[in-house]
Chain A
Amino acid sequence: MKGITTGQIKMNIAVLSGKGGTGKTMVSVNLARITVPSVYVDCDVEEPNGHLYFKPEDVVCEEVSVLVPKSDPDKCNGCRECVRFCRFNALVFSLDRLTVFNDMCHSCGGCSVICPQEAITEYPRTIGHLELGRSGDVYVRTGIMNIGEVAGSPIISRLLDVNTSPKKGITFIDCPPGSSCMVMESIKDADFCLLVTEPTIFGTHNLKMVVELVTEFDKPFGVILNKTVEGEADPSEEYCLENHIPIIGRIPFDRELSNLSSEAKIASEESVRFENLFQSILDNISEMV
């Protein structure tokens, strides 16, 4: 599709990997930088780090909260309908009162609906926040989960919904590692999934898991082989070739690239060599969507 590299169309590209440390953020940041105007969304809410590269300005914060139940002890008659209803076992009735395990609650609201005494009401509980800013023509959105929280999906959902985007341009969704609910939340509106992997057994193993995931979601996808070494066996490459999975790009195991990344510099901004490399990856994607 023409226009992908010139900001003429609007689409979502999710970058995911299964294994952590394969280069999701490095790829997302570089692609977002060379396709302005663009949006970079850091869905790795447990440890977001894309903002370190972009150093966004004019940052606006927005709290994210979820609804959790509380019970009015004067109305509750201890029937335990709510305890039986909760499939996540977030509720316990003991010593004549209801206890809520907030971190296990999925905010379905069912307990408040089912309570025959109308004793249960919901109230918002803050679990994290968003930071929305800009770095030149890249709109940078970061989700940050509070320490001690376990469920980041509501933050990701809000992060993808919030509208700070330009009218046109590509949104790059930097997903959390793994293939959990948080990754599913991150890719659900993606038009294309970019799978970043590395030439290790572990990298290949988790690549297979995300291939299964994106296949289940019926998403078009392709693979970037990162940290490749000329002439050395690459189990991820073998896996892609065997399974006819398109390889969209190869990023070499490169001292300069890792030095730039470790200094939180965006390689495609610093060197024409890397700008060309990421441009070719974009060109390959544009042929697939």
Chain B
Amino acid sequence: MKIIVPVSDNTDDSNVDPSLSRAPYYMVYDSETGASESISNSAKDSPSGAGVKAAQTIVDAGAEVLLTVRCGDRAYNVLNGAGIKIMSASPGKAKDNIDAYLKGNLSELDTIHEGHHHGAN
């Protein structure tokens, strides 16, 4: 099972990034092998639609679970539609959040914000 977390840098020790779509990297953790890799987020500088583009990256990474502090409505539609579980992460180390999830200590993200829709005009 692949678990994905938006992170602030591309190290194993990285913190969770508070923004799902503007995080510079995603940590992809494979629970079968225990290995993690980092992928860069091409959506982070998008003038508009970053949530949608980030969701595409997450779907393409083959993630089954997303640990995130926040999630906008459009990204939620894509991720939820793809059957990805969205769990509520806490600020701090990404690895600590992954451990917490594996131990069953994270709950589902229950607030989806309306997004920061720019540039649609």
A interface, CB within 8 angstroms of B: 83, 86, 88-95, 99, 101, 103-104, 150-153, 180-182
Please name all residues of chain B whose beta carbon is closer than 8 Å to the beta carbon of A101 when the two chains form the complex: 49, 52, 74
Q: Is the CB of B121 within 8 A of A99?
A: no
Assuming the contacts A94-B56, A99-B78, asked whether A181 and B50 have C-beta atoms less than 8 A apart, the reply is no
Question: Please, how many angstroms separate the alpha-carbon atoms of A35 and B56 in the complex?
Answer: 55
A151 CA / B120 CA spacing, docked (Å): 6
With the chains together, A258 CA to B24 CA distance in Å? 52
Q: Give the contacting residue for A104; candidates B43, B78, B83, B120; CB below 8 A.
A: B120
From A90, A93, A94, A181, contact of B121 by CB (8 A): A181
B 51-66 to A, binary, CB cutoff 8 A, 1 in contact else 0: 0110110010000000
Complex CA–CA separation, A177 to B17 (angstroms): 35
25 A-B pairs within 8 Å (CB atoms) are namely: A88-B49, A89-B46, A89-B48, A89-B50, A90-B52, A92-B52, A92-B55, A92-B56, A92-B59, A92-B78, A94-B55, A94-B78, A94-B82, A99-B81, A101-B52, A101-B74, A104-B48, A104-B74, A104-B120, A150-B120, A150-B121, A151-B120, A151-B121, A152-B121, A153-B121
Chain B minimum-CB-distance residue to A150: B120
Residues of chain A contacted by B52 (CB below 8 angstroms): 89-92, 101, 104
- Which of A88, A103, A181 gathers the greatest number of chain B CB atoms within 10 Å? A88
| Contact residues on B (Cβ < 8 Å of other chain), bracket | 10 to 19
Q: Which residue of B lies closest to A183 (CB)?
A: B121
Contact B119 A89 (CB under 8 A): no
Query: Is B49 in contact with A180, judged by CB distance below 8 angstroms?
Result: no
Q: At the interface, yes or no: B85 with Cβ under 8 Å from chain A?
A: no
Say how far A144's CB is from chain B's closest CB, in angstroms: 16
Residues of B at the A interface (CB closer than 8 Å) are 43, 46, 48-50, 52-53, 55-56, 59, 74, 78, 81-83, 117, 119-121
**B55 and A180 contact, CB distance less than 8 A:** no
Using Cβ atoms and an 8 Å threshold, which residues of chain A touch B82? 94-95
A contact residues around B119 at 8 Å (CB): 88
* Cα(A83)–Cα(B52), bound, Å: 10
Separation of A169 and B56 alpha carbons in the complex (Å): 53
| Residues of A close to B117: CB separation below 8 A | 150
B74 & A94 in contact (Cβ 8 Å cutoff): no
**Nearest CB of chain B from residue A9's CB, rounded to whole Å:** 32
Q: In whole Å, how far is B42's beta carbon from the nearest beta carbon of chain A?
A: 10
User: For the complex, what is the distance from the CA of A180 to the CA of B43, rounded to whole Å?
Assistant: 23
Q: Once bound together, how far apart are the Cα atoms of A94 and B55, in whole Å?
A: 10
**Nearest 3 pairs of A and B residues by beta carbon:** A89-B49, A89-B53, A181-B121
In the assembled complex, the Cα of A153 lies from the Cα of B121 at a distance in Å of 7
Identity of the chain B residue whose Cβ is nearest the Cβ of A149 in the assembled complex: B120
In the assembled complex, the CB of A114 is this many whole angstroms from the nearest CB of chain B, namely: 17
Is there an interface contact between A104 and B49, defined as CB atoms closer than 8 Å?
yes
Instruction: Give the Cβ gap from A84 to chain B, nearest Cβ, in Å.
Output: 10
Q: Which residues of B contact A83 (CB under 8 A)?
A: 56
A101-B49, A104-B48 are known; give 10 further A-B pairs, CB within 8 A. A86-B49, A89-B43, A92-B52, A92-B55, A92-B59, A94-B56, A94-B82, A99-B81, A104-B49, A151-B121
